[in-house]
Structure 1
């Protein structure tokens, strides 16, 4: 069956590495990879770089199909549509080993439920196929592995998780040397998926300029959408790299010190979708994640919103539920599971009684 629209739900892969000899690559690690190498990998995935920004901690790329983040010992690729994301795993592992002397120590793959699953190409035709592909393309030394589909009471919002690591580390922390990164089990990741976006909110992600107006570029459209929607207020400290697609769609990466945030929007009616992802610390102001998620919900006003919180040792998810209840979203289900090297994943789904 052919897809009748664009697949908004992303696939996300995170690979973490360590170096036996940090002097081999200095503190830059994976950031030493040539841009041409990254382009070759992205070509295999079937996407390209459309914009980029960097600071002293990491490089952030907006892609034609979502985002790429490169840290000294960690790389995250997030793609939507019918991209073949998992085809990046083997070349990334080999490039890091052969050119940089880095060894992969952890892999984490996550995604939601596809809106158009029958349109997905191999190796993404099913979660079972994805897991088999990962098993075959990861080094055997990553022997602690787990795959799970976390369900919810909203069937269109289930959460797929696969992790693999070389150390059975219950609290999700690492004892390996990191090249220039201060990583600890205090950090957590929040991945948000939103569907049934408010129509007025979604319309703001259609380009206003004519498609043949050379002065009205994707960068210009992105800046306009960021300002018009209030996305820039979600984290005012962040340096934003944004892009507006023609005729519609939006992507943004924010960099704030060593932390990233990212937003991607597919606004078409009938299959509207938006995602938000960020990194936080349990030592942050306890109200910060609540403020951020409330703002995200207010920007998009989704009918259904799911939130996956990955944290080694802290119940950040309780703040999530309290924050979203204040903006009219009711928690319909909550499930939790532990994964090697990732810690505990808590998956919550929320719905509103709002009618468009």
Structure 2
């Protein structure tokens, strides 16, 4: 296959001054992830009858919404099946039928949701929501958060109230979950689906607006690897003093150089990538290829370090889950990491190992042999989705060990 990807293009790039070097306050690395589906797939009637669905919304309209969230667009990549916006605080992905908004720091992610719903209705005639997810890892500095993000219960309450005030969206009751140790590393998830139609067998019947015209969409899954206490060799390239102060290299060029130096480029096959470095403190990388999106954020503040890799994807040419976890752990050498797999599910055949249990075995194969021990393992089954969550930490070396 040619290295050229004519269906993917960087349509704009905006330089951001390296003024983060003067900000010595702690930076919140764990991201708030909001995912809204307005239809089951890009082939759904509600999408096809409006052309390109959500991708037809002008950039200026999305930027106005992002102003509410408190972040700016730095660059945009137009892919074959999605548009990827690199933000000053993370990323925004637009597909014809769904949106993914990921923001870190003290951004007001959930405050953007009402405007997103209005934009979908006004510009795309999408008045119903098929599914909505909101998730995040436990914050390192919760006291610094703003608005509803100060407490998980406040975030859940905000979402419940918002959806109750908009019954026309066709959604049922939302549910909030805490996955993991409340007094340790944990993951938080809010899920809301279409309201139950009241069928006799209790099964949900989808709104006609979400019905597809073509083939059933492939399984939807998201892999997240969240790491902390990174090894010194992995941290060093991200410090600002590693760059020549007299260099005229742009943040994008610095990011590309860092990615090549530490091996980030090897995580996925060659694809269209945009990378940025803000004063050596934040390294942000995105890859888009077909239905695959990889996002990696690296935050460095003195002795603190945090990295997140997320990949909402479909099979295509992604490395296997085992290879992906091994590569990431080898590059960043984290002292602690948690791995989650969130995957759409169907009724499995009797005797078959569920995908989430298979994922747990892969997590262990990738890490336990590499010097890690598992500290937590949790499987969840939601309506239409399953979740595998596991935490690992490096084993302490025993004195005298080779």
Q: Same fold (TM over 0.5)?
A: yes
Equivalent residues of 1:24, 1:100 under 8 A apart: no
Report deviation, 1:327: 2.2
| Structure 2: 5+ residue stretches without partners | 1-23, 197-201, 346-354, 398-402
Map Cα deviations across residues 63-94 of structure 1 (whole Å, 9 max, x no partner). Answer: 11111111111100111110110011111011
Q: Which residue of 2 aligns with 1:238?
A: 271
Q: Structure 2 residue aligned with 1:227, among 252, 260, 275?
A: 260
Q: Which residue of 2 aligns with 1:59?
A: 83
| Structure 1: 5+ residue stretches without partners | none
Q: Which residue of 2 aligns with 1:320?
A: 363
Q: Distance in 2 between matches of 1:303 and 1:178?
A: 45
Q: Does 1:69 align with 2:93?
A: yes
For normalisation by structure 1, the TM-score amounts to: 0.89
Q: Distance in 1 between matches of 2:342 and 2:78?
A: 25
Q: Does 1:143 align with 2:152?
A: no
> Is the partner of 1:14 in helix, strand or coil?
strand
Report deviation, 1:225: 1.2
Q: Which residue of 2 aligns with 1:41?
A: 65
Q: Distance in 2 between matches of 1:68 and 1:117?
A: 23
Q: Structure 2 residue aligned with 1:330, among 348, 373, 384?
A: 373
Q: Distance in 1 between matches of 2:160 and 2:215?
A: 28
Q: Does 1:9 align with 2:46?
A: no
Q: Does 1:202 align with 2:235?
A: yes
Map Cα deviations across residues 188-223 of structure 1 (whole Å, 9 max, x no partner). Answer: 21112111111221121234445675x311111111
Q: Distance in 1 between matches of 2:231 and 2:362?
A: 24
> Is the partner of 1:8 in helix, strand or coil?
coil
For normalisation by structure 2, the TM-score amounts to: 0.79
Q: Which residue of 2 aligns with 1:348?
A: 390
Q: Structure 2 residue aligned with 1:160, among 182, 188, 199?
A: 188
Equivalent residues of 2:268, 2:318 under 8 A apart: no
> Is the partner of 2:129 in helix, strand or coil?
strand
1:122-141 equivalent positions in 2, closer than 5 A: 122-138=147-163, 139-140=166-167, 141=170
Equivalent residues of 2:133, 2:190 under 8 A apart: yes
1:205-216 equivalent positions in 2, closer than 5 A: 205-207=238-240, 208-209=242-243, 215-216=248-249
Q: Does 1:91 align with 2:138?
A: no
Q: Distance in 1 between matches of 2:203 and 2:376?
A: 25
Q: Distance in 1 between matches of 2:141 and 2:61?
A: 31
Q: Which residue of 1 aligns with 2:19?
A: none
Q: Distance in 1 between matches of 2:62 and 2:308?
A: 24
Q: Which has the higher helix share?
A: 2
Q: Which residue of 1 aligns with 2:284?
A: 251
Q: Distance in 2 between matches of 1:167 and 1:56?
A: 32
Q: Which has the larger radius of gyration?
A: 2
> Is the partner of 1:326 in helix, strand or coil?
helix
Map Cα deviations across residues 228-267 of structure 1 (whole Å, 9 max, x no partner). Answer: 1100000123322111111421011111211101000112
Equivalent residues of 1:260, 1:279 under 8 A apart: yes
CA RMSD in angstroms comes to 2.7
Q: Distance in 1 between matches of 2:334 and 2:132?
A: 31
Report deviation, 1:269: 3.4
Q: Does 1:104 align with 2:125?
A: no
Map Cα deviations across residues 284-330 of structure 1 (whole Å, 9 max, x no partner). Answer: 79971110111011111111101111113322332122112232222
Q: Distance in 1 between matches of 2:30 and 2:372?
A: 20
> Is the partner of 1:104 in helix, strand or coil?
coil
Equivalent residues of 1:152, 1:335 under 8 A apart: no
Q: Distance in 1 between matches of 2:141 and 2:68?
A: 21
Instruction: Give aligned pairs, total.
Output: 346
> Is the partner of 1:204 in helix, strand or coil?
helix
Q: Which has the higher contact order (CA 8 A, sep 6+)?
A: 1
Q: Distance in 1 between matches of 2:207 and 2:283?
A: 35
